[in-house]
Amino acid sequence: MPDTQALVMTFLTSLKNATARQTAELLRSVISQQRVPYTNQAGALIDAVKAVGEQLIAANPVELAVGNIVRRVLHIIREEDLSLTTAAIGELNLSAVSDDENDDDRDGNTTLSAAAVAAAARSTLRPPSLQTLLEDTPVSAAVPQTSSSGGDSEGKTADKSSRSRKLKHDVIEAVNELIQDIVTCHEQIAEQAVEHIHQNEVILTLGSSRTVSEFLFAAKEKKRSFRVFVAEGAPRYQGHLLAKELVARGLQTTLITDSAVFAMISRVNMVIVGAHAVMANGGVIAPVGMNLVALAAQKHAVPFVVLAGSHKLCPLYPHNPEVLLNELRSPSELLDFGEFSDCMDFGSGSGSPLLHVVNPAFDYVPPKLVSLFITDAGGHNPSYMYRLIADYYSADDLVVQRRAIAGN
């Protein structure tokens, strides 16, 4: 573990530039270096990942992608363990039938309970639903117990050790696939560009997002001719960079200020923007100014399309979006200290200056303003986000905490 701890520490210090990919790679090294005990290997892996994940999330709670990847990896571990266990129980079933005459301890209920446990295990992985409401809720520890009891009988030990190696191997393979998905999400989203951008359209965007630029380039490659309005995205003015890139690719671009969005929106056919995170209710955490664009688009009935890779999908709800999920950045982006140093002087008078500068980094766009989400899994309604969340995340992982600490 000391090696992983050092890795985690260096990662935490560089968390400002943390991306989903780096988190996934870090967790992959944590998993590969983790020693797993003979029984309940999945539990050990989950605990290890949760321990590291807790530190990562606490270090920078605004960077939601980190928490998303931690939860994805936890879900992967549970899934792989489940598929291995059901395969093992299948073998157990066959061998139990033949052992029945020899083994007195094993009563006739074994085959029955194994099938029941498998069915129950399947249901514990799926989020709770109406179908399973009346059924027993077995503890997930029941699943590894069956496998360990299976390990006690003769002739199974060889299978057990190969299965223990297999779990780690499967998990690492799945995490590699996850990393691959994260890296290629831009291409997968850009492939859908042609369906949405038509000839002679006017597109509006705000700030600069790599997903959006790849999306627009892909449409340009397919010989669609369209124009782009870029709102500059104060105070970081990243729209300037995007405008330059678009012109380099031969797209007709118009640069406007954020305040001019309402004036120009009636001339626009579609708004395409990127997102920092997508919440469970379909709301979007986006760079500041996005809510203004969304409201303008709704007023003039312009489709508001959000591009987001699936690693940006967060299973949490934005209870108080302005407070909890925002980052207040340095006022120097807005004001020049030289000119305003007397207004913002903390040393003079009462110690509290009359001029406060608030520079939030993010905005919350409610789901009713979003027309379409384009993810690497296709285009979806905001009300469909819960399905993707059920696919990618387990309900147990919403609060990433070590079980010893969690009082439940």
Partner 1 sequence: MSMSAYYQTRAAHHGVVTSDWLAQSQEAATRAVVTGGQEIVDGGKSGRAFSVIDEFNNWRKQPDLAEAVAAIRALAAVIRNSEAKTMMELEIELKKASDSLKSWDTTSISLTAGCDLFMRYVTRTSALEYEDFNSARSRLIERAEKFGEISYKARKIIAMLSQDFIFDGCTILVHGFSRVVMEVLKMAAQNKKLFRVLCTEGRPDRSGLRLANELAKLDVPVKLLIDSAVAYTMDEVDMVFVGADGVVESGGIINMMGTYQIALVAHSMNKPVYVAAESYKFARLYPLDQKDMGPALRPIDFGVPIPSKVEVETSARDYTPPQYLTLLFTDLGVLTPSVVSDELIQLYL
Q: Which residues form the interface with partner 1 (CB under 8 A)?
A: 112, 115-116, 119, 127-131, 133-136, 280-282, 317, 319-320, 367, 381, 383-384, 386-387, 395
Q: Mark 189-201 as b/e (b = at least 16 C-beta within 10 Å).
A: bbebbeebbeeeb
DSSP letters, 341-396, are TTTT-SSSTTSS-S-----B-EEEE-GGG--EEEETTEEE-GGGHHHHHHHH--GG
Q: How far apart are CA 327 and CA 334, in angstroms?
A: 15
Q: Which is nearer to partner 1, 387 or 402 (CB)?
A: 387
> 């990433």: which residue's tokens?
400
Distance CA 379, CA 388 (A): 12
Judged on CB neighbours under 10 Å (0-12, 13-18, 19+), 361 is middle
Q: In terms of DSSP bridges, do strands 284-287 and 362-365 run parallel, antiparallel, or are they unpaired?
A: antiparallel
Q: Which is nearer to partner 1, 134 or 141 (CB)?
A: 134
Question: How far is 343 from 176, CA to CA, in rounded Å?
Answer: 53
Of 167, 160, 270, give the one whose Cα is nearest residue 224: 270
Residue closer to partner 1, measured from CB, 238 or 281: 281
The CB-of-398 to partner 1 minimum distance in angstroms stands at: 9
Helix (H, G, I), strand (E, B) or coil at 8: helix
> Residue 389 Cβ, how far from partner 1 at the closest point, in Å?
10
Neighbours of 170 (CB within 10 A): 18
Q: Which residue has the tokens 């030289």?
A: 338
CB of 324 to partner 1, least distance (A): 10
Residue in this structure with the two tokens 């994260």, named with its chain if needed:
182
**Residue placing its CB nearer to partner 1 in the complex, 344 or 395:** 395
* Closest separation in Å from C-beta 379 to partner 1: 16
Give the residue with the Cβ less far from partner 1, 90 or 250: 90
Nearer to partner 1, 115 or 183 (CB): 115
Q: Which is nearer to partner 1, 20 or 365 (CB)?
A: 365
